[in-house]
Amino acid sequence: MKIKFFALITLSATLIIMLAGCPTPTKFTLTVTTSPDLALDIRIDGTLFTSPKGMIVNSGTTKQISVDTSQQKDISSWLTGIDSRYVFSNWNDASTSNPRNVRVNSDTTYTADMNAEYRIDRASTPSLWEVFSTWYERGSEVEFSTFQQLETYNFSHWLINGENRGSSNPIVLVIDKPLLITAVYAQQQAQYTLTVTTIPETGLNISIGGTNYTSPKTVILNSGTSRAIEVTSPQEKDKSAQVTGTDTRFTFIQWSDTNTNNPRTITLNSDMTYTAEMKVEYKVTTGTNPAGGTVDGAAWYMAGTVKNFTAPVRTGYTFSHWVVNGANMGDANPITVNVNSPKNVIAYYNAETTTKNVFGIVTPYTGNIKTADLNEMEILSNTEIRTTNDKPEYIENEYLLKVESFKEVEESFSTSSLPEIQIIGRIEDYYGELQYIHVRTTASEKELKGLPGVVQVSRNSTFYALETTPNDTYYSLQWNYPLINLPRAWDYAVGSRSVVVAVIDSGFSTNHPDLAGIFESGYNFVNNNTNVSEPTTSIDSHGTHVVGTIAALTNNGKGVSGVTWGGFGITLIPIRGIKGAAALMNSIIYAVDHGAKVINMSLGGAVDSPAVYDAVKYAARNGVVMVAASGNNGDGNILYPARYPETIAVGAIWEDEGTIKISPYSCYGSELDVVAPGGYKLLGTDPNGIYSTGWTPTGDTYMYMQGTSMATPHVTGLVALLMGAGLTDPDDIRSVLRSTAIDLGSPGRDDYYGWGLIDAGAALEAITSPQEFKVFLRNPSTGSNIASTNLSDSGAYHFSNVSLSQVKVYAWRDMDESGTINIGDLLGYYNYSGGEPNLNNAQTITLSGGDNWIDFQFAPIIGD
C-alpha cells in the first residue's frame, strides 16, 4: 500500500513539472447588454442572444458584437401585442458602429443605448369607447384628459396599469414604459361618499370644505359637488407618556394619487377616498439621574432613525446604566437607540463613594472546554410551596416553663404535691432575659402554672421539615416520587444551576411546554449534526420521557414534576447517542468535555466494548458520576455500561397494592447498586407505569412508560440534588446512596435490589459537611484571598463593603474535597470564556464606588 502511495506522489510531481512549462491562459468576461430595457436581440459573432449575455473568453480574443435595429417587443402584461419599438443609438463608450469588433483584455461590458417608443392604450370602464392606441417616445411628458360626464356616467378616477392614480382631470404622465390608461366611470347617483384619511397614523387634523375633523372622516355629498380637502401640516401630537408635551410631528408629503397640492379641490362623481401620506418625526428628550448633566442629542428625528447617545463624564459620579422610556437598557456607552417612537433617554449615575459592593451571577460554561466555544445561558427562578400537618402535635408529657428565677421554680418541684417533675434542661439567652426550663411530667398544664415563679407554661409541640408539594397538574399521578421520599428531599434542595447533567438518549422534544428552556446546546452523534430532536419515526419518545423525570418544569401549575425542578434546578445537555459503540463513546467524551458532572445513560448493550469502557474511565477520572440502566431482559446479566464498576447500576421496582416489588423485566446481578421506580404495566395507560413528558409525530404529550430506563433518571436527578447541596465527590455520592437506601429483599445487599430503593429525603439529610461552591475576592497585588462567600442555587453571589479598588473574582468548588484545585474541580473567573480554566488568567477588575455587577462562567478542569 505504501509503494502505491509513493508512486502516485511521484507521478503527480512529474505531471506538475510538465504543466509548469505551459502557463494557463488568462480568462475574462465579456458582457453585452441593452438600455433602457433588457431582453432585446443582440449578436456575438453572429449568434443570436437576448440581453444581457455574458461569456468567458481568453485574453486578447476579438469578438464581433451587434444589436438588431430596429426591433419590436411585447414587454408589458397590461397590453396585448407589440408595445415597444427600439432603434440603435450608440454604445456606452460613444461608438456608433453596429456591428463592431472588440478585443477583450479585461472584464468588459458593452451597453447598446436604444431609442425607445412605447404604445399607450386608452380605455374606459365600463367600456364606453373602443380602445385606441398612440405611440410616444420614451421620456415624453403627455397630458391626458377624458370626459367628466358621459351618457349616464360620471368620471371617477384613473387606473394606470392597474394603479389608482386619483381623479385629477387632466392628468400629466411621463412615458417610461407601455401604459394602459383606463378612465373609470361610475353610474351617476344623487349622492356619493367622500372619505379623507391619513397614513401611517390616523387621528390627525384634516378639513373638508373648511370644516375641521380628525382622520378618518367620511361625508356624503351630492354628485358633482366640489370640495376643498386639506390636512394640517405640520401638526404635532402627544402620543407618549414618556415624553413631556407634544412628541410626534406629521408633515404632508402627497396624496395617495400622487397629487402634492395641499389644500386641493376635488369634484365628487363617485365614492372616493383620499389618503394623505405623512412624514413622521419623533421627539427625543435626554437627561441624567441625578439631574445636573447634559446628554447631547435631544431633537426631532425621522421615524426609524438610528442615533447614538453618549453619557458624559460627571465629576463625583460614575455612569451606571441607561433607562429609555422607563426600561433599563444596560451600561453600553454610547448607546444605540432606534427612534421608532418618542424616546426619553436618561443616563443614570452612581455617586462616587469609598464603599464598593460586588454582585454577580456565576453560570456553567457548556461549550467545548477544549475549544472555547462560548454559550450564554439564562438564569431563571421559581418559588416553593410547602405543606405540613394542619393539626397540632406535641411530645407527650413535655413542657416549657417560662420562669423568673431558675432556683425558685426548681426548688418548688421538690416541695409541691405534684407528680414528679423531671428537668430535661435549662434554656436561656446570653443576657439571661429569657429563662425557660424544659421538663417532663405527668402533671397538667394548669397545675404547672400554679407553681411559684412560673410565668408561662406551653406544651412541647412538634415541628417537621415541611414536605414540599408541587402544584403541577399531573403530580398526583407520579406515585413514584413519594415512594422514594422525594417531597421530603425538596425541603432541602430543588436543584442548582451549577450542576451540569448530560443525558445520552434517543432524542428530545426541545419545544415541549413542560421542558421549555431547560436545554443547553447538545449534539447528535447518530446523524453527526446539532439536531437533538426526537426522530420523526419515534414511537416511544424515550429521551423526552427520561428528561421529564430528571428536570421537567416544576411548580408551574401544569404537566408533571421533575426530580430536580426544571428551569432553574440544573443545567442540562441533550445528546443523541443511542446507536453503536462509537456514538456512545463520542457522547460520553462530549459530555465530559462540555462540563457535565453527571451523565444519565438509560441505555444498554450486551457487549463489553473496550472503546466505551475507555470513555467511561475517562469520565470517572474527571470526577463525573455516571448513572446507567441495568437492562430490561429480566435475567441475571446486567447490561453495559451499567456493568462497569465506575457507573451506578440502577434496577427497577414497582408498587403492587402497597408492596414494593422488583419489576419482572429488571436485570439483576452482583453489579447492581440500587433500584428506583421503573413501573410495571400491562396496558398502555396502566397507572403503574412512570408518568412523564412524551412526544409522538402528532405533537407533545404526556405518557406512561416502564423500564430500567425510567428508573435511572430518578437516581440521576437525586445525584444532581446531592451535588447541588454540596455532596460532590463521586465516591461519597455512591456511599450515601447505598447507606441511605431502603433495604428490600434479603437483609443487606442482594443481587435483585442491590443496596435497596433510593431514599431521596434520607440522602439529603445525610450530608453533614457540604462542599460549598465558593466565590472568592483576591488581592491581585499579593495573590491572597480577602473574602469569600457561598454561591446560591441560582448562581448569585454578593460582597459588601470591599475596601480594595482592584480585585480578582473567582469561583471554585472542591469536588473531591482535596483542598487543592485539581482535575474534576469546578473553576471559573471573570473573563473566562472557554478552554481549560487557569486561575492565572483571571482578569484584574477596577471597582467603582457603589455597586459593581460582575458575571462570569465556570467549567470543570478536565484531565486526560
* Lookup: cell for 196: 379623507
- Please check the confidence at residue 431 and state whether its pLDDT lies above 90: no
- Please check the confidence at residue 196 and state whether its pLDDT lies above 80: yes
Handedness of CA 9, 14, 18, 23 (dihedral sign): positive
In 3D space, the residue among 321, 370, 363, 367 whose CA is nearest the CA of residue 346 turns out to be 321
What DSSP designation does 475 have? G
Q: What is the mean pLDDT of the chain?
A: 87
* Lookup: cell for 100: 463592431
Rounded to 10°, the helix 708-724/542-551 angle is: 30
pLDDT on residue 390: 38
Q: What is the DSSP annotation of 144-185? A: E---SEETTEEEEEEEETTEE--S-SSEEEE-SS-EEEEEEE
What is the C-alpha to C-alpha distance for residues 482 and 490, in angstroms, rounded to an integer? Answer: 11
Q: What residue type is assigned to position 374 of the chain?
A: L
- What pLDDT digit, counting tens, does each position of 579-595 carry? 888 889 889 999 999 99
Mean pLDDT of 835-848: 90
pLDDT on residue 542: 92
What is the C-alpha to C-alpha distance for residues 137 and 115, in angstroms, rounded to an integer? Answer: 8
Mean pLDDT of 683-710: 87
pLDDT on residue 17: 29
- pLDDT above 70 covers what percent of the chain? 91
What is the C-alpha to C-alpha distance for residues 280 and 778, in angstroms, rounded to an integer? Answer: 55
Quote the distance between the C-alpha of residue 625 and its chain's center.
29
Active site residues per annotation = 505, 542, 709
Residues in the chain: 864
Residue 599 CB coordination number (10 Å): 27
What DSSP designation does 635 have? S
In 3D space, the residue among 103, 138, 132, 131 whose CA is nearest the CA of residue 117 turns out to be 138
- Please check the confidence at residue 684 and state whether its pLDDT lies above 70: no
Mean pLDDT of 259-275: 91
Determine which of 3-17, 104-118, 612-626 has the lowest per-residue pLDDT on average: 3-17
- The pTM score is 0.53
Strand partners, 218: 195
- What pLDDT digit, counting tens, does each position of 198-240 carry? 999 999 999 999 999 999 999 999 988 999 999 999 999 998 8
* Lookup: cell for 611: 472503546
Q: Could you tell me which residue, 747 or 461, shows the higher pLDDT?
A: 747
pLDDT bucket at 474, cuts 50 / 70 / 90? very high
Helices (H), 670-812: 708-724, 730-740, 760-765
Residues 752/745, Cβ–Cβ less than 8 Å: yes
Strand partners, 81: none
- Please check the confidence at residue 387 and state whether its pLDDT lies above 50: no
Rounded to 10°, the helix 730-740/708-724 angle is: 120
CA distances from 615 to 581, 626, 726 (A): 10, 11, 26
